[in-house]
Amino acid sequence: MDPIVYVSLGAALAAGLAGAASAFGVGVAGAAAAGVVAEDEKNFKNALILEGLPMTQSIYGLITLFLILMVSGILGGGFKFTANTPDNIVKSAILLGAGLTVGLTGLSAIPQGVIASAGIGAVAKNPKTFTQGIIFAAMAETMAIFGLVGALIMIVTGVGF
């Protein structure tokens, strides 16, 4: 494959996978939010906060997309790895790896949505569990953060600005 394919795939997978996962996560939590609000409108605020948690993975995906596009020169200049040399292939493969790392760890948005959904139900039953619900859902976020940090290291050390 040409370097441009690796780079484009890396950027697309980072934003695409994480974005799709966030959509599913928010969807699952959103359905739960609608359920508790249907019973009592007072649940809206708590449900909204928990529902929003799985959205962050899509932000990490977007950040990675911009970084990949910037370091490869697609954004703000000419593409740096046009020539099909081993060095360019390695660098573009690293960018694909970075994108894939963020994309795959971004899938944590789906289980996070499931946790948030259960949390929304728990908070509707007992509002005192709101903080705990946030903490439980935020645990799934850790994987996405690890992925983002890993991708940043790969981009900075493997390719550089």
Partner 1 sequence: MSGILDTTLALVFTWVGYKTSMIIYKYTPYSYPNARIKAMEAKLLIEQRFNELAESRTLQNFVVSLEDTPYRDYLADLQSYDVESIERALEKALAGTYELMAKILPKRVNPFFRLLLEEWDVRNITSVVKAKLADEPAMDYVVEIGPMLQKVKAMAEAKSMEEILVILEGTPYEEPYQKLLLGEIDVRAFETELYKMHYGKLLDYALSKKDEERTILEEFVRLRIDKLNILTALRGKAARLSAEEIRPMLIPGGSVKLDPLLHVEDLSMALAELDSTKYGPVIRDVREEVEKDLGVLERVLEEHIIERMNELNRFYPLSVATPLGYVLQKEREVRKLRAIAKLISDGLPPERIKELAGDVA
Taking residue 55's Cβ as centre, other Cβ atoms within 10 Å add up to 17
Query: Which CB atom, from 28 or from 148, has the smaller least distance to partner 1?
Result: 28
Q: Which is nearer to partner 1, 113 or 148 (CB)?
A: 113
- Kindly identify the residues of this chain, within the stretch 42-71, that bind partner 1 according to CB under 8 A: 43
Distance between CA atoms of 9 and 69, rounded to whole angstroms?
11
Q: Which one of 35-43, 70-78, 137-145, 147-155 is the stretch in contact with partner 1 (CB under 8 A)?
A: 35-43
Q: Which is nearer to partner 1, 70 or 97 (CB)?
A: 97
Binding site for partner 1 (CB under 8 A): 1, 21, 24, 27-29, 31-36, 38-40, 43, 89, 93, 100, 104, 107, 110-111, 114, 117-118, 120-122, 124-126
